[in-house]
Structure 1
Amino acid sequence: MIASLSGQIRNIAMDSCVVEVSGIGIKVLITPATSREISLGSAATFFTSLIVREDSLTLFGFLNETERNTFELLQTVAGIGPKVAMGIVATLAPEELTRAIAAEDLATLERIPGIGKKGAQRLVLELKGKLSLSHNDSHVLPTSAPWRNSLQGALSTLGYTPKDADNAVSVLASALAKEGVAPESMELGDLLKRVLTQGGSK
């Protein structure tokens, strides 16, 4: 999977940009804030999350790992897909989101487009305790669930690198979230089968 991408910016839109890498232009979906921080012709590095679907490959890019980690963690919440997760990251900085969830500040969460009261309650219910502020108050650290650790270990025995195993599990978490399925309710063998059939790379 693609964990990061470095190259020259060839095109910029409000929600996307084109990064040229070795002569190939790669479209990366970004937040409006990111589009304002980059400039045409400049070099940039994005921390990325690849969303794999049957008919598409979509690459989301962030200027720091904190936002990328937050984006991926948000998709473990039932009903939160990549589009909504991107909207959350675009509306609230990771530390703002962390504080809102810790304080159960539904008013702040409800102002995120596409969330509403029920969505805000779900974010608090499923993410409280999974987001934390570091000592410098600038990083969000996702807490690994037991099922994720077990699955990553199983993939490692099959020859996956730690990075590829982590990315493959993130793709699965996103897919299960879209289906409204809690990974904790599935057997390890079933989770492993899903990863292997979704095309996770070694």
Structure 2
Amino acid sequence: MIGKLKGTVDSFGEDWVILDVQGVGYQVHCSTRTMGTLPAAGEAAQLAIETHVRETEIKLYGFTADLERNWFRLLQNVQGVGARVALAILGTLTPGEIASAIALQDKATVARAPGVGPKVAQRIVAELKDKAPALSGDATGTIGLQQELGAGAASSAVQDAVSALTNLGYSSQQASAAVKLALDKAGDDAPSATLIRMGLKELSS
């Protein structure tokens, strides 16, 4: 199996890149997010690779980092999520955003990805909630609080603060991250008014 390719960008397609590795051109399918990070033709690039072997074809999928590839694998464990849908999710959300959405049980955020309907989004947030923390990436610091919020186990002050911030137009991920920073500074017993004020300060900084 191919685990990594390092070479020169040869050309691009709608959802793939040809990577020239010592004279051999590998067609690698990527998410729109990964495609956007690739350099111009003729420049060096490196991709983590997931190889899918089928009876009639072999497909290579490329990712900027192992974390993104791990999410690609994990998402496909959910019924209704194949390679195409998994790539669509990774093209719409970062690994940290996926982990946060699952922790918060925020199926609407997951459903923003093309091809992901409400039922599939619901299965993703329900079935992967215990596995998301290990792949939370840049959301690691807030994932615990987000899990409490998603399970309805957070304190009333935290719930009220997050609700107030989302009512002001911030996403649930932004609001919960800001409240977590406020909690770290003000302490677990801080009232909702303090968390809202400090959370707004964090969001505006």
Considering the TM-score relative to the shorter chain, is it more than 0.5? yes
1:8 aligned onto 2:8? yes
| Alignment correspondent of 1:132 | 133
Change (3 A) 1:134 1:113: closer
In structure 1, distance between residues paired with 2:127 and 2:136: 24
Bigger Rg, structure 1 or 2: 2
Change (3 A) 1:105 1:123: same
Post-superposition shift, 1:13? 2.6
The 5-angstrom pairing of residues 113-152 of structure 1 reads: 113-132=114-133, 137=138
The 5-angstrom pairing of residues 5-154 of structure 1 reads: 5-38=5-38, 39-132=40-133, 137=138
Give aligned pairs, total: 139
Deviations 1:103-139 (A, max 9, x none): 0012111211111111111001211110116797267
**Would the aligned equivalents of 1:75 and 1:82 in 2 still touch at CA under 8 Å?**
yes
SS at match of 2:100: helix
| Alignment correspondent of 2:163 | none
Post-superposition shift, 1:33? 2.4
**Would the aligned equivalents of 1:3 and 1:47 in 2 still touch at CA under 8 Å?**
yes
In structure 2, distance between residues paired with 1:92 and 1:20: 28
Post-superposition shift, 1:34? 2.1
SS at match of 1:78: coil
Structure 2 unpaired stretches of 5+: 141-205
Deviations 1:60-87 (A, max 9, x none): 0011111111101111111211111111
SS at match of 2:120: helix
Structure 1 unpaired stretches of 5+: 140-202
